[in-house]
Amino acid sequence: MRTKYTAEFEAFWEQYPKRWVTSSGRWVKIGKFEAFQVWNRLSKADHQDIMAVIKRVRAGKFTLDAHRWLKKRRWEDFEDTPVRPPPVKQDPELAASDNKQREIAKLTQGLGNKMAGD
């Protein structure tokens, strides 16, 4: 007899990404029954939080299987705020170069007048 999954869990399962398995050379999603067992132990509030962040979970070589992701409560690793790009950082070499130019300008500021007066 096949397991009857809830519609809410099926929505989660559909959106949860596959992971890359190097040994088989393909994208897979395994452990549906195990994930369903963990899902059933979670609260409705947890289900809502999971569904709020599930689209931000990225597929990849290091993506956990869904049942491990649920068991380890990995949705709590996501911030409640929208994803924002990281702030632009100035290249340290350019910043150092700008600082050096300002220092040289300060040091040489009065030299032109002193040399002209001599």
Over the stretch 14-63, which tens digit does the pLDDT of each residue have? 999 988 878 888 888 889 999 999 999 999 999 999 998 988 888 776 78
DSSP annotation of 42: S
**87 pLDDT exceeds 80?**
no
Q: In the predicted model, what is the mean pLDDT of residues 76-102?
A: 65
Least confident of 9-18, 22-31, 94-103: 94-103
Please give the pLDDT value at position 28: 85
**What pLDDT, on the 0 to 100 scale, is given for residue 35?**
96
